[in-house]
Chains A and B, each alone.
Chain A
Amino acid sequence: MAAPAARVTVRGKYATTYVALGLLLFVALIASAGVGAFSFTPATMARYIAQGLGWSRAADADALARNVFLQLRLPRVFVGALTGAVLGVSGALMQGLFRNPIVEPGLAGTSAGAALGASLVFVLGGGSVLAFTRPLGTLAVPVLAFIGGFGATLIVYRVSTSFGKVNVFTLLLAGIAVNAVCTAGTGFLSYIARDPQARNIIFWNLGTFTTADWRGVELIGVVFAICFAGVMRYEKALNSLMLGEDAAAMLGFDPARLILRLLVLNTLMVAVATAMVGVIAFVGLVVPHILRMWRSSDYRFLIPASALLGAALMEIVDVIARIVIAPAELPIGIITAVVGAPIFLWILLRERWQGSAAFYG
């Protein structure tokens, strides 16, 4: 027996994995920035970026292409990557909170609740019902998305947890119920809405990056940075929650406070991302699952790695969305559902074959 793993630090242990994920993300970003109705070579992109930053003088001949790249393509790439990172981290986080590998923001009601909150503003934002949101300006959408997402997630968590244990069947049923109510609400709103609002809601319910702009990059970037830094502080606590709430408490963590704080951070990220790009399912499920199978469920690894892989996967999906039915685009959510749902079923079957006790709670 060589020196046991106990003597290796976590960061060192996963260094090569981080490098691999970083490279994957880098390649995915370049591909996503280059592919589409306008395509750009890396050299052109570098030139446009230099010009955009004022480092070199712009040639008027390619003003249109440069504007497409700087004002449409780049913000879209960044919003996509940040959304992927948000969903990846959120999936890992929620699986830790619910102590179950099948939970993700789409299942636990977070996305649907956020979507309902955002739709309220879309459709009724100008009316007297939501007059109180007017001082929030453009932040009204993310704020109501947060309220909706937090409420939905809290209901699912409370219903599925008894005596500090999560019951997976109750969790699934509560998720179905809460999702149904939220989807019905969003459906009702799009029914009473006039075109083009209604069309927007439907399209946005399937997830889309087409509306991305630099303001959006700033908002989701700042929120992700804050939430990610917050979540990193709770990596040890998330690990100890794997042993159950009592064991976590005996290790000096306060489970009730911990869970509330993580739910707030999680919902904040997901709500802002959902308000901006709509509902994108299964990314939060698939990303942590790949990492758990590939390397480890240790949250000190899983949180940063989920951010990297989530961002990379989202870029790959966005590239697919842009080329499958070019010159038109597929909504993002359709692709993630088509790819993600079979993986979800496969996890369910695998867990059933293994009869994992933790899974069935």
Chain B
Amino acid sequence: MVELRDVSYRVGDATILRDVRVRFEAGRMNVVLGPNGAGKSTLLRIATGLAHPSSGKVMYDDRTLASFDHQALARRRAVLSQHVELAFPLEVADVVMMGRYPHFGRVPTARDRDVVHEALALVGMLERAAQPYPTLSGGEQQKVQLARVLAQIWSTDANEAQPPRYLFLDEPTTNLDVHYQLHVLSIARTLVNQHTTLIAILHDLNIAFQFGDHFVLLDRGGVAFEAGSAREMPMDVLERVFDVRARAITDAVSGEVLWRFELRR
């Protein structure tokens, strides 16, 4: 579980986050929603430890984030960003191996190499292991980055007693076509278990409602609404926060609620 306790974040005179109090439970897909500038990325930077709150605390399973050792935390907490650029060409397997850096000294162990193998297999990129990373398409690169991030917090057996893991996805599907969007998020869904707290920032509301279990809607630095399903999300709040007109459409096949948005006149 990741918990933000009365977190505020100020830069100069601007308040980016104001008294945010929110809990992200393990065992479900937590989704953070909100318009541009609502503070989603800042919230994620604070929750991962990249930025420090001006006031308030971040708790990882009742332990303050600040009390963790950097290396120890890196073995349990991983972050996938929107688009990761690699400054120099490396082989795909070497990129994924970076996820294992917190786990070994100078030379990777047999287990580290196994994990890289399994992570690449999970995202369906095993046959590209020896290929230079820059030659991959954007969607393939994002899957390799997902494999890297998964390798970082890899656990062999979901049922075994083990320290909790924390996985953050910062708009993981931006720039991806619909196939890769669905693929990346369905891989993410398979990771949901009682040992893993999964938090994703998503832009596409329909994709978010399709894959998420719990929704935190941010607006101007505060939590506007929390909901456990798409049906619970009130239409008027969505309309106000995103400044659009919204219509709910029920899918004839699955019975799920889909949304259609239009600009307000």
Nearest-neighbour CB distance to chain B for A301, whole angstroms, equals 10
Are B87 and A252 touching (Cβ within 8 A)? no
Contact of A251 among B50, B81, B85, B98 (CB under 8 A): B98
Task: Pick from A100, A235, A252, A298: contact of B94, CB below 8 A.
Answer: A298
Query: Across the interface, do B85 and A6 meet the contact criterion of CB distance under 8 Å?
Result: no
Tell me whether B56 is interfacial, beta carbon within 8 Å: no
Chain A: residues with Cβ within 8 Å of the partner, total of 37
Q: Are B48 and A250 in contact (CB under 8 A)?
A: yes
Name the residue on A nearest B77 (C-beta). A250
Nearest-Cβ distance from residue A10 to partner chain B, whole angstroms: 8
The reply to whether A243 and B117 form a contact with Cβ atoms under 8 Å apart is: no
- Is A251 a contact partner of B129 (Cβ separation < 8 A)? no
Chain A residues, CB < 8 A from B97:
6
Q: Which of A100, A240, A252 contacts B73 (CB 8 A)?
A: A252
Q: How far is the CB of A3 from chain B (nearest CB, A)?
A: 9
Binds A, one of B27-35, B101-109, B155-163, B185-193: B101-109
B116 within 8 A of partner (CB): yes
B248 to chain A, nearest CB (A): 37
Cross-interface CB contact of B120 among A6, A11, A235, A292, cutoff 8 Å: A6
Provide the residues of chain A in CB contact with B50, threshold 8 Å.
246, 249-250
Complex interface bits, B104-124 against A, C-beta within 8 A gives 1, otherwise 0: 001110000100110010000
Query: Contact at B74–A1, with CB atoms within 8 Å?
Result: no
Chain B residues with Cβ below 8 Å from A183 are none
On chain A, the residues within 8 Å of B79 by CB distance are 246-247, 250
Taking a contact as CB atoms closer than 8 A, the residue among B70, B84, B89, B116 that contacts A243 in the complex is B84
Partner of A5, one of B85, B107, B129: B129
**Interface SS, A side:** helix
> Do B87 and A6 touch (CB < 8 A)?
no
CB contact under 8 A between A6 and B117, given known A252-B73, A253-B70, A357-B85: yes
Q: Smallest Cβ distance from A247 to chain B, in angstroms?
A: 6
- Is the C-beta of B14 less than 8 angstroms from some C-beta in chain A? no
Q: Considering only CB atoms, which chain A residue lies closest to B116 in the complex?
A: A6
Q: Are B120 and A4 in contact (CB under 8 A)?
A: yes
Q: Is the C-beta of B71 less than 8 angstroms from some C-beta in chain A?
A: yes
Q: Assess the B101–A358 pair: CB atoms within 8 A.
A: no
B positions within 8 Å CB-CB of A: 48-50, 70-71, 73-75, 77-79, 81, 84-91, 93-94, 96-99, 101-102, 106-108, 113, 116-117, 120, 126-127, 129-130, 134, 152
| A–B Cβ pairs within 8 angstroms, 26 of them | A1-B126, A1-B127, A4-B93, A4-B126, A4-B129, A4-B130, A5-B129, A6-B96, A6-B117, A6-B120, A6-B129, A7-B117, A9-B108, A10-B107, A100-B87, A235-B106, A242-B87, A247-B81, A250-B78, A252-B70, A253-B70, A296-B91, A296-B94, A297-B90, A356-B134, A358-B88
Listed in ascending order, the chain A residues whose CB lies under 8 Å from chain B are 1, 4-7, 9-11, 95-96, 99-101, 235-236, 239-244, 246-247, 249-254, 292, 296-298, 300, 356-358
